[in-house]
C-alpha cells in the first residue's frame, strides 16, 4: 500500500523529523510543504536580484540532510521548495548530489508564475480593487495534480515545484499509484482530506495542540512527523514516526481536519470541490487514526492566483516598564507617542504586551508586574517608518520613569491579494523538465 510521509509543514520547519521519518518508515513518498502565502513574493525579489536564487532558504540544508537517506532507501521527495525559481532549485539539488556522490534525478514543474498573464483590469477577490491598484511583485497560480502527474511519470527521485495547492502535493501521488481517474471526484475528495491532514506535518502529531494539564502530549520536544498508509479507495491510517514524541489521536486529527477550512462541505482546490462533512475517524491503534468518508464534486473552473505586492514599510518600536505602576506608565508612554505622532501616522497601533496585545482586549483582569509597550504602523516611506522607532526610543530620556530595553525595527511589507485565471491560460504554460546526476 501507498505510504506518504510529511516532512515539513512550513518553510522554517525542523530538519531532523523528516530524516527520522524517512529512516524508520519505508515510505514511497516524502512531501515537504514549505511555501506560505507571501514567501513566494519575497523569493521573487531575490530572483530579480540574482537569477540563480529565489528558492526556499532551507533547500540546501534539507537536501544535505535527506539525500543520503534517499540514496539508501529510494523513496521519492515532492516539494514546493522551488518557490519563485524551481529550475534554479533543481540545479542546486544536482550540485549537492554531485558533492555527496549520489545519483539523483530531479523533475521540475514550472508554469505557476503568471505575472505576464494578468490583465490590469482584473478583479481582486478580497475587495473591489483591480490588479492595477497594486504594485505587483509576484503572481502565482495554485497549480493542481494535473501539473504534477507528468513529473511523477518520469523516473525522477525528487519533484520540485513552485506554487501548487498544498493537498495536491499529496493527492498526485495517490492518483499516480492507484491510477485514479482525475474526474473521480469522490476519491479525489477523500485523497484531498488525507493531503490536508498531512500538509502541516507536526500539527497532526501534537504540535499547535499541547496544553498543560488539559491536552497532554508526551515528549513534545521530540515531536515525530506524520505519515499515512493509503488504500486503493483512499481510506488511510494516519500515524507518526515510531518511538518519537507527540500523539496522533481523535483530538489532533479533528483539529487538523478543520484547520483553515471554511465550509467543510465545499473545500476548494484546483482538483476537486472536496467534502469533509462526512469524514469518519476511528482510533485503530496507539497513535493510529483511520480516516474515511471524504468525498467531493467537480473542480472549480478557474485557478486561484495569489498576488504579492509592495504594501509599504512596517515599523515597530518597543520599550518595557516594571513595578507596581508599570501599566499606568505604559499607558502614559502611549499617550505621549500618540500626541507626538498622530498627525504623521494616524493609524498607529499601540499594545501593552502582557495586558492586551494579542486580542486588543483581555477576558478578566489582572495586574502584571511588567509590561512592554509596542507601537506599530504601516508607513508609506522609510522616513516615516524611522520617525516611529525614534519616538519610541526617545521615551528613554523623554518619557515615563524607568523605561528600559527599547528596540526598533523596520521591515518591508509584502501584502497578498487573490484573483482568478481561466485554467487554459495557465495550463498551456505548465512544463516539466528533468535534470540528472549519474555517478
Partner 1 sequence: MNSKSMKLYEVAHSRAGDKGNTSNLSLIPYKEEDYEWLGKVVTAEKVKEHLKDIIDGEVIRYDVASIKAYNFVCKNSLLGGVTTSLALDTHGKSLSSALLEMEVNLPS
Q: Which residues bind partner 1 (CB under 8 A)?
A: 37-38, 126, 208-209, 211, 214-215, 251, 254-265, 276-281, 293, 311, 314, 347, 349, 351, 353, 357-361, 363-364, 374, 376-378, 413-416, 418
Name 315's bridge partners.
377, 410
Residues 249 and 261 sit within 8 Å (Cβ to Cβ) = no
- Closest approach, Cβ 217 to partner 1, in A, equals 12
- Closest approach, Cβ 79 to partner 1, in A, equals 22
Name 321's bridge partners.
371
Cβ closest to partner 1, residue 80 vs residue 256: 256
Comparing CA positions, the residue from 350, 345, 338, 421 lying closest to residue 379 is: 345
- Closest approach, Cβ 125 to partner 1, in A, equals 8
Burial, 388: exposed, middle or buried (Cβ in 10 Å; 0-12, 13-18, 19+)? buried
Cβ closest to partner 1, residue 48 vs residue 278: 278
Cβ closest to partner 1, residue 87 vs residue 295: 295
Cβ closest to partner 1, residue 28 vs residue 275: 275
- Closest approach, Cβ 264 to partner 1, in A, equals 5
Q: Can you tell me which residue has the cell 501584502?
A: 415
- Closest approach, Cβ 90 to partner 1, in A, equals 28
- Closest approach, Cβ 263 to partner 1, in A, equals 6
- Closest approach, Cβ 103 to partner 1, in A, equals 41
Distance CA 270, CA 253 (A): 23
- Closest approach, Cβ 266 to partner 1, in A, equals 10
Contacts of 121 (CB under 8 A, 6+ apart): 130, 131, 132
**Alpha helix ranges (H) inside 299-430:** 326-341, 382-398, 423-427
Burial, 354: exposed, middle or buried (Cβ in 10 Å; 0-12, 13-18, 19+)? buried
Distance CA 119, CA 305 (A): 12
Cβ closest to partner 1, residue 177 vs residue 259: 259
Contacts of 78 (CB under 8 A, 6+ apart): 29, 30, 31, 32, 148, 158, 159, 161, 169, 172, 173
Distance CA 274, CA 185 (A): 8
Residues 148 and 77 sit within 8 Å (Cβ to Cβ) = no
- 393 by DSSP, 3-state: which? helix
Cβ closest to partner 1, residue 121 vs residue 211: 211
Cβ closest to partner 1, residue 62 vs residue 372: 372
Cβ closest to partner 1, residue 94 vs residue 139: 139
Amino acid at each position: 500500500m501507498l505510504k506518504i510521509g510529511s516532512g515539513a509543514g512550513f518553510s522554517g520547519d525542523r530538519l531532523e523529523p523528516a530524516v527520522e521519518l524517512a529512516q524508520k518508515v519505508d515510505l514511497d513518498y516524502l512531501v515537504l510543504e514549505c511555501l506560505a502565502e507571501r514567501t513566494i513574493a519575497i523569493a521573487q525579489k531575490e530572483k530579480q536580484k540574482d537569477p540563480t536564487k529565489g528558492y526556499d532558504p532551507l533547500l540546501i540544508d534539507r537536501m544535505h540532510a535527506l539525500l543520503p537517506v534517499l540514496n539508501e532507501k529510494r523513496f521519492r521527495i515532492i516539494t514546493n521548495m522551488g518557490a519563485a525559481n524551481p529550475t534554479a532549485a533543481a540545479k542546486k539539488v544536482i550540485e549537492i548530489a554531485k558533492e555527496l556522490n549520489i545519483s539523483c534525478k530531479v523533475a521540475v514543474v514550472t508554469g505557476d508564475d503568471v505575472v505576464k498573464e494578468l490583465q490590469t483590469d482584473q478583479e481582486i477577490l478580497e475587495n473591489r480593487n483591480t490588479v492595477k491598484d497594486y504594485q505587483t511583485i509576484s503572481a502565482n497560480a495554485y497549480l493542481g495534480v494535473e501539473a504534477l502527474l507528468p513529473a511523477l511519470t518520469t523516473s525522477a527521485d525528487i519533484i520540485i515545484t513552485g506554487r501548487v495547492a498544498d493537498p495536491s502535493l499529496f493527492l498526485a501521488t495517490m492518483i499516480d499509484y492507484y491510477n485514479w481517474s482525475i474526474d473521480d471526484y469522490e476519491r479525489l475528495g477523500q485523497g484531498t482530506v488525507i493531503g490536508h491532514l498531512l500538509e502541516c506535518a507536526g500539527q497532526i502529531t501534537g504540535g499547535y495542540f499541547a496544553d498543560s494539564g488539559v491536552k497532554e502530549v508526551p515528549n513534545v520536544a521530540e515531536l515525530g512527523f506524520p505519515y499515512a498508509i493509503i488504500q486503493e479507495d483512499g481510506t488511510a491510517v494516519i500515524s507518526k514516526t515510531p518511538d518519537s514524541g507527540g500523539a496522533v489521536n481523535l483530538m489532533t486529527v479533528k483539529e487538523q481536519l478543520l484547520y483553515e477550512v471554511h465550509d467543510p462541505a465545499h473545500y476548494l482546490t484546483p482538483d476537486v470541490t472536496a467534502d469533509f462533512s462526512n469524514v469518519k475517524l476511528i482510533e485503530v491503534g496507539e497513535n493510529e487514526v483511520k480516516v474515511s468518508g471524504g468525498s467531493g464534486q467537480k473542480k472549480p473552473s478557474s485557478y486561484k492566483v495569489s498576488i504579492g505586492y509592495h504594501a509599504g514599510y512596517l515599523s515597530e518600536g518597543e520599550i518595557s516598564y516594571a513595578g507596581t505602576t508599570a501599566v499606568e506608565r505604559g499607558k502614559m508612554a502611549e499617550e505621549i507617542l500618540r500626541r507626538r505622532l498622530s498627525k504623521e501616522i494616524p493609524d498607529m497601533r499601540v499594545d501593552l504586551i502582557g495586558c492586551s496585545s494579542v486580542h486588543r482586549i483581555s477576558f478578566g483582569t489582572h495586574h502584571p508586574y511588567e509590561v512592554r509597550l509596542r507601537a506599530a504602523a504601516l508607513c508609506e516611506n522609510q522616513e516615516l517608518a524611522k520617525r516611529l522607532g525614534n519616538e519610541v526610543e526617545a521615551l528613554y530620556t523623554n518619557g515615563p520613569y524607568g523605561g528600559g530595553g527599547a528596540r526598533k525595527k523596520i521591515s518591508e511589507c509584502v501584502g497578498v491579494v487573490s484573483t482568478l485565471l481561466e485554467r487554459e491560460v495557465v495550463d498551456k504554460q505548465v512544463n516539466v523538465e528533468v535534470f540528472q546526476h549519474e555517478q
